[in-house]
Structure 1
Amino acid sequence: MAEVIGVRFKNVGKVYYFDPDGNQVPKGGRVIVETARGIECGECTMKNRTVDDDKIVKPLKKVVRVATPEDVARVEKNRQKEKEAFEVCEKKIAKFGLDMKLIDVEYTFDGSKILFYFTADGRVDFRELVKDLASVFRTRIELRQIGVRDESKMLGGLGVCGKPFCCSTFLGEFQPVSIKMAKEQGLSLNPSKISGTCGRLMCCLKFEQKGYEDFGKITPKPGSWVRTPDGDGVVTEANVITGKLKVNIHSDSDVRQPPQPYHRDQVTQIPRPNRDDLPPRPAAAPDSRRERPSASPRPERAPAPGAPRSEVPRSGHSRGGRNRRGKNTGRPGGQQPGKKPQ
């Protein structure tokens, strides 16, 4: 167990633990700490608290001091310098014709380093740009390529719900999101409807998943049997969040009833009954559609006037009453129709 405080360096960033070194830092107060990038000024988001050792990343660094008014003024001065550095870097990017988009600029507290965040479709050779920026600002320059999710988090904006981005308001770090979460939450699997402005799956799918899992444990699933005030039945629809169900009640009535609405608090899930215990299902209504009348046979075509009538079927025979083998298949005795025997 160790006493720590939580410090955040950006408006919506990851929270890091530091040793308060005997200081009682209030929530929202600023402190000066030593990080891997050097001396930084951060905001205390979690006041003094004791946590387990397995939650601490060793070594635990100490707080240098509580920020003074001079320290706060220095931070504000760095913010003004960041705006100037942003404009200078954009001009340099256009000068070298680099295919990159500048997103943000960050000064360290002591001014020993300037970080430029940018996005690009691929690798960018910015060595000449770094040399040019170093000659202008006379300090260490670092260019860091970020992804589209980090870009949305830094720039901010409004999502499809009409509210500010979750990543730029309260999400400290990104969590993996899968299409399976959208399926379990009953959402449309159309990528355009479940993707954020960044083009990736919306972050809200992740932090809402826990609620769907908790409510799903107490909500009967479609196809399960429940006992309602009106009898036993099968769940046909279920809304996990609102708890509303539609149950098809099994009864002895000959008339089929539509599924009835219930709340999950009104029903009790029961095992599936045996087939012999189920009431007989109502018979389907007779088909009222008229049967098509059977097709009447076609009348035989009348022979042409004056033409001799043959009693032999026409199918499969050639002219002259002979079949394909050359045998005479006319009247008995080989007589041709219309001729008298000699």
Structure 2
Amino acid sequence: MIKVCGIRFKKVGKVYYFDPGDIDLAAGDFAIVETSRGVEFGEVVMGVREVGDDEVVQPLKPIVRRANEADYKRLRDNKQREESAFSMCQKKIAQHKLDMKLIDVEYAFDSNKILFYFTAEGRVDFRDLVKDLASVFRTRIELRQIGVRDEAKMVGGLGICGRPFCCSTHLGEFQPVSIKMAKEQGLSLNPAKISGTCGRLMCCLKYEQEAYDDLLRITPKPGAIVKTPNGRGVVLDTNLLRGKLKIKLQGSDAPAQYYSVKDISLVKDGVVKVDKKELSALRELERN
């Protein structure tokens, strides 16, 4: 077991483990830590505790100290400088006529580097822009191209549910979401209904997938051959949450009937399929 402390650097960001040493920290405290990017200011979201060796990526960086007033002042100053840097960078982008959209600016805590996050349709030659910004700010400049999901996380907004984006309120990391999940949950494969404001598959499809996986294990799929109290039939449709199956009896001209899952037995199961044309048209939604 290894003693660690969980630190987060952004409001809704990934939690990293650090070596607390002899410093006693609790959730809600702030600390100065040593990272691969240099000295950083972070929030303690997990107090000192022991975790298994396999949960830690070595070498474990140390926590330097608990944050003091001078650190808080430097953080506030950096926030103000980020605002002016954002405006300056936008002007420089316009001057260089670059097809890119500036999303956010981040000053390293020790001010030895400024990160500019942007989105663009393709590759952008920003070498002259970097030189121009370096001459203005007299420090290291890094431009980092991000995807539309990262843009939504940084900018924030309201989803189609009317609530703030999950990614900007509580999702520390993006989870993989697939078209197959939407199909298994019986959702319409209409991009407008299954994609978020970012234009990618909604993150919330992941939330209920575990429950649907459990239901799919005990529920015959469309195309399955089953035995009902009235004879054999083929499953035409399913309602996983209600546990109902629409079944067409074999050798019968009667219309399809609904049966409860508990009243049938499986003879041969079907397969949840996504049409190739649908998958090709929706593949873009699965990108990060």
Give the match for residue 57 of structure 1.
57
Question: Structure 1 residues 141, 258: closer, same or farther in 2, change over 3 A?
Answer: closer
Once the two structures are TM-superposed, the CA of residue 211 in structure 1 deviates from its matched residue by 2.5
Once the two structures are TM-superposed, the CA of residue 199 in structure 1 deviates from its matched residue by 1.8
Question: Structure 1 residues 221, 128: closer, same or farther in 2, change over 3 A?
Answer: closer
Once the two structures are TM-superposed, the CA of residue 172 in structure 1 deviates from its matched residue by 1.5
Determine the C-alpha separation between the residues in 1 that align with 2:266 and 2:97.
Answer: 70
Determine the C-alpha separation between the residues in 2 that align with 1:227 and 1:47.
Answer: 56
Structure 1 contact 119–146 (Cα < 8 Å) conserved = yes
Cα RMSD (Å): 2.8
Which has the larger Rg?
Answer: 1
Determine the C-alpha separation between the residues in 1 that align with 2:245 and 2:188.
Answer: 21
Following superposition of structure 1 onto structure 2, how do residues 74-223 of structure 1 map, counting pairs within 5 Å? Answer: 74-219=74-219, 221=221, 223=224
Following superposition of structure 1 onto structure 2, how do residues 1-342 of structure 1 map, counting pairs within 5 Å? Answer: 1-219=1-219, 221=221, 223=224, 237-240=237-240, 242-246=241-245, 259=257, 267=262, 270=265, 272=267
**Structure 1 stretches of 5 or more lacking a match?**
251-255, 273-342
Give the TM-score, by structure 1 length: 0.68
Residue type at the aligned position of 2:200: R
Question: What whole-Å deviation, never above 9, does each CA across 1:263-296 have from its counterpart, x for those lacking one?
Answer: x6xx365455xxxxxxxxxxxxxxxxxxxxxxxx
Determine the C-alpha separation between the residues in 1 that align with 2:93 and 2:61.
Answer: 38
Question: What whole-Å deviation, never above 9, does each CA across 1:160-197 have from its counterpart, x for those lacking one?
Answer: 22222222122222233221111111111122322222
Once the two structures are TM-superposed, the CA of residue 243 in structure 1 deviates from its matched residue by 3.3
Structure 1 contact 3–49 (Cα < 8 Å) conserved = yes
Q: Secondary structure at the match of 2:72?
A: helix
Residue type at the aligned position of 1:82: E
Once the two structures are TM-superposed, the CA of residue 34 in structure 1 deviates from its matched residue by 0.9
Determine the C-alpha separation between the residues in 2 that align with 1:3 and 1:34.
Answer: 16
Structure 1 contact 219–243 (Cα < 8 Å) conserved = no
Determine the C-alpha separation between the residues in 1 that align with 2:79 and 2:14.
Answer: 20
Determine the C-alpha separation between the residues in 2 that align with 1:103 and 1:18.
Answer: 29
Once the two structures are TM-superposed, the CA of residue 221 in structure 1 deviates from its matched residue by 4.9
Higher relative contact order (CA 8 A, sep 6+): 2
Q: Secondary structure at the match of 1:125?
A: coil
Q: Secondary structure at the match of 2:40?
A: strand
Structure 1 contact 224–269 (Cα < 8 Å) conserved = no
Residue type at the aligned position of 2:88: V
Determine the C-alpha separation between the residues in 2 that align with 1:186 and 1:258.
Answer: 19
Question: What whole-Å deviation, never above 9, does each CA across 1:80-136 have from its counterpart, x for those lacking one?
Answer: 111111011111111121111100000111111111111112222222222221222
Give the match for residue 308 of structure 1.
none
Q: Secondary structure at the match of 1:60?
A: coil
> How many residues in Structure 1 have an aligned counterpart in Structure 2?
264
Determine the C-alpha separation between the residues in 2 that align with 1:233 and 1:107.
Answer: 68
Question: What whole-Å deviation, never above 9, does each CA across 1:55-96 have from its counterpart, x for those lacking one?
Answer: 211101111111123212221221111111101111111112
Give the match for residue 286 of structure 1.
none
